[in-house]
Amino acid sequence: MPDILQKAITQPPEASPEGGHTQVLLDAEHLAFRAELRAFVLREVVPIAEDYERAERFPSDLLKEKMAPQGYLGIPYPKEWGGRGLDYLAYAMAVEEFSRAWGSLGIIVAAHTTLGIGPLYNFGSESLKKAWVPRLAQGEIIGSYGLTEPQAGSDSGATHTTARRDGDGYILNGTKVFCTNATHAASTTLTAVTGKDAESGRSRISAFFVPRDTPGVMVTKHEDKLGLRGSDTSTVILEDARVSEHNMLGREGEGFKIFMQTLDNGRISIGAMALGLAQCALDEGLAYAHNGLGLFKSLFAEQETLALLADIATDISAARMMLYGVAKLKDAALPHTQEAAMAKFFASEVARRATDRVLNLLGRDGGIRHDCPASRAFRDVKLCTIGEGTSEVQRLVISRELLRNYAKGENK
C-alpha cells in the first residue's frame, strides 16, 4: 500500500502523525533534512522495498548509486572525512525514516554507520582512519561489525576469538556470528582476546579493524531470518588472519570498553529503527481507519479503534522524545549510557506493541498478508528487542546505571 506511505510521507510536518513535538525539538536544519529524507525515501525506497525484501536482495545498487551521492552512508561524520557533516540526531532521524519505509535498509545503514565506521573513526590511528574512513563514509564500501560469538551473546565478555602477537602484527582466530552486512562489507570491526589480566584472571579484550581481503578471513552462512530479509546477517570466520598492529583500535585491552561505548550509540540506531517501524504501523492504521474499511459499518463502535490509534501515537511520541533527547546528549558529548538503553528499550517495546495491535486492526483486510507493510514491520521489529542487547540486558544496564548514580549521591 505505497499510497498510504506516500500520503504519510508527503504530509506537511505539522500535519504528520508524529504531532507538533518535533517542531519544537528540531531546528530548521533538521526539519529541512527530514523533508529531504522523506522525499528521497518516497522516490527511491518505497517503490522497491517489497520486491527486494521478498527476493532477499541486498540493495547494493540503492546504496552505491542513490544513497552514497546524498551522503547517507556517513551522515554523522565530518565532510573532510567523507561524511555528510551532520550530527547524530540527524543520523537517527535518517535511520527512522529509512526504517519507516523498509526495515532492512534501516539496519543496513545503522550497522554500517555506527558499528562499521564508529569504532574506527573514534579509536583508530590517524593512518588507519585516513586509509578507510573516507571510503566508508562516502559509501564507496560498506562496513560491518563482529561482537557476538556462538557462546558469547548477551555475555559478550565471554569472547573466545583470540589475537596472538606476531612481530608487528596480530594473528586472529575465531568465529563471529550475526554480523550485519558482512557478506557485502569490505571490513569488519571486531573484538578478540589478547591476553589475561594477571590480577583478575579475566580476558583482556582488544578491538581490531579487519579488512575483508585479509588472508584467513571468510564470510559464511547467510542467516535465514524471520524478518529484515533484505539485510544480510552472516558469520565471519578468522583462521590465522594476520593484521598489522596499526589495525588495533584504541590500546591493547581497551576493546570491551570501546565496544560497549559503540553499543551505546548503536542502541540509538536500533531505537530509531524501532521508531520508524512503529510509525509504519501507525501510518497503515490511520489510513485504514480513515478509509473506514470493514469494521466500522455496523458491528463496531469506533471507540476501541480510536483508542488503539491514540495509544500507539502517544507511545510513539514518547519514544521519539526519548530518542531525540539521547541523540542530543550524544551530540553534546555528555554521558548517555542509561538514556540510550532506556530509549532503545522503550522504543523497541513500543514498536512491538504497535505493530502487533495494528495487525489486529487491519485483520484479514491486509494485516495477515505477507506483503502488507505493517505485516513486514511486525516481523522486522522483533529484532529491535534483541539486537544491540536484548530488552532484558537493557533493563540490567539501566538499573546498574541507576544504582551507580545513587551510590555516587550517597558518597557525597
Partner 1 sequence: MMTLSETAVAGPSFELTEEQRMLQDMVRDFATSTLAPRAAAYDRSCEFPHDNVKEMAELGLLGVTVPDTYGGAGMDTLAYTIVIEEIAKACASTAVIAAVQNSLVNFPLMKFGTEEQKKKYLPKLASGELIGAYSLTEPGSGSDAVAMQTRVRKEGNKYILNGTKVFVTNATGAELFIVYATLDPELKSKGVCAFIIEKNYPGFSVGRHEEMMGVRASGTSELILDNCEVPLENLLGTEGEGFKIALATLDVGRLGIAAQAIGIAQACLDYSLGYAQERKQFGKAIATFQLIQNKLVEMAVNIDAARMLLWRAAWLRERGQNFTKEASMAKLFASETAMKAGIEAVQVLGGYGYTKDYPVERYFRDAKITQIYEGTAEVQKIVIARHLTNPA
Known catalytic membership, residue 410: no
Q: Which of 50, 65, 388, 410 is catalytic?
A: 388
Lay out the site mask for partner 1 across 132-161 (x = CB under 8 A, - = otherwise): ----------------x--xxxxx--x---
- Closest separation in Å from C-beta 107 to partner 1: 12
CA distance 171 to 166: 6
CA distance 18 to 128: 41
Q: Cβ closer to partner 1: 137 or 354?
A: 354
Q: Cβ closer to partner 1: 223 or 254?
A: 223
364 binds partner 1 (CB under 8 A): yes
Contact of 276 with 98, CB cutoff 8 Å: yes
Q: Which of 227, 230, 250, 266 binds partner 1 (CB under 8 A)?
A: 227
Closest by CA position to 375, among listed 303, 268, 288: 288
Contact of 277 with 358, CB cutoff 8 Å: no
Contact of 394 with 345, CB cutoff 8 Å: yes
51 binds partner 1 (CB under 8 A): no
379 binds partner 1 (CB under 8 A): yes
Query: In sequence order, what are the beta bridge partners of 210?
Result: 188
312 binds partner 1 (CB under 8 A): no
226 binds partner 1 (CB under 8 A): yes
Q: Cβ closer to partner 1: 165 or 290?
A: 290
- Closest separation in Å from C-beta 154 to partner 1: 5
370 binds partner 1 (CB under 8 A): yes
298 binds partner 1 (CB under 8 A): yes
Burial 64-95 (b: 16+ CB within 10 A, else e): eebbbeebbbbbbbeeebbbbbbbbbbbbbbb
Looking at 189-197, 199-207, 258-266, 364-372, which segment touches partner 1 (CB under 8 A)? 364-372
- Closest separation in Å from C-beta 235 to partner 1: 11
CA distance 129 to 191: 18
Contact of 394 with 322, CB cutoff 8 Å: no
C-alpha dist (Å) from residue 184 to 164, 187, 369: 27, 9, 30
CA distance 373 to 99: 11
Residues 168-197 that bind partner 1 (CB under 8 A): 177-178
378 binds partner 1 (CB under 8 A): yes
* Non-local CB neighbours of 201 within 8 Å, separated by 6+ positions: none
- Total residues interacting with partner 1, rule: CB under 8 A: 47
CA distance 299 to 356: 22
CB neighbour class for 225 (10 Å; exposed up to 12, middle 13-18, buried from 19):
middle
267 binds partner 1 (CB under 8 A): no
Q: Cβ closer to partner 1: 364 or 408?
A: 364
400 binds partner 1 (CB under 8 A): no
Q: Which of 331, 365, 398, 401 binds partner 1 (CB under 8 A)?
A: 365
Binding site for partner 1 (CB under 8 A): 148, 151-155, 158, 177-178, 223-227, 294-295, 297-300, 304, 352, 356, 359-361, 363-365, 367-371, 375, 378-379, 382-383, 385-387, 390-392, 395-396
Which amino acids are annotated catalytic?
388
